[in-house]
Amino acid sequence: MGYCDPHWIGDYHFYNAMRFRTRTEPLESAPSPAADGDARSLLLWGGVSAEGVPYLEPAFVLDIPPSPPVDGGNYRIRGRDASGEELFALSLDMWRIADGDGGSGFAFALPVRAGWADALASLTLSGPGGSFTLDGESGLVEAAAIVRNPVTRQVRGILRDASAAGLAGAVEEALAVDPALEVLVSRGIPDPADWDR
């Protein structure tokens, strides 16, 4: 399992997860807007540790359908520009992570708005346990990479490493298996070039 050492997911768990998803998720007869590259979304994800401390993971700009959070909840996420002006603010709730250490998490995709590429400078998650701000200078999160099929946009892996060399090595291993894969890297706030990809 993903939280056991060594970190892995075997065929047995993959098969059961896939079987569950094919039984419970409706099949789409029409291609989604993301399949044509029309939907640009900002992927925001993070959570609260078992001690109640909020955290954010690196944000990504992706061609995926928007899936904003249901409004309401004890937590708020804000995107601001360099001068501190608010670009967006949302309230949200988190789900408890099953079989975890007591933490909670969230993941959603906001539709990209004009001007965010040049303006978004920080993200702040706040709630009962305090706040956490992610910006281009903080260095508070590990860089992450999403490895995906460039045609289907199916995610093949999410890679993380505290060191740039370690992440580069993990990316190299993934590309050795399938050189046609696409790798998207984020160190926190998406770079201006990421918005045009």
Res 194: pLDDT? 83
What's the pLDDT at 30?
A: 41
Q: What is the pLDDT of residue 152?
A: 84
Numbers of helices and strands, H then E, in the chain: 3, 12
175 in Cβ contact with 184 (< 8 Å): no
Percent of the chain with pLDDT over 90: 31
Q: What is the pLDDT of residue 196?
A: 78
pLDDT in tens, 68-122: 887 788 999 999 999 999 999 999 988 887 777 778 889 999 999 988 988 999 9
Q: Could you give the count of Cα atoms lying within 13 Å of 82 in the half-sphere of its Cβ?
A: 6
Q: What is the mean pLDDT of residues 129-140?
A: 79
pTM of the predicted structure, to 2 decimals: 0.75
Q: How confident is the model at residue 163 (pLDDT cuts 50, 70, 90)?
A: confident
Closest alpha carbon to 41 in 67, 24, 21, 62: 62
Contacts of 123 (CB under 8 A, 6+ apart): 44, 56, 59, 77, 78, 79, 80, 133, 134, 135, 189
Return d(Cα 63, Cα 67) in angstroms, integer: 12
As a whole number, the mean pLDDT across the chain is 81
Cβ–Cβ contacts within 10 Å for residue 103, how many? 16
How high is the pLDDT of residue 126? 95
Report the distance separating Cα 187 and Cα 163, nearest Å.
Answer: 11
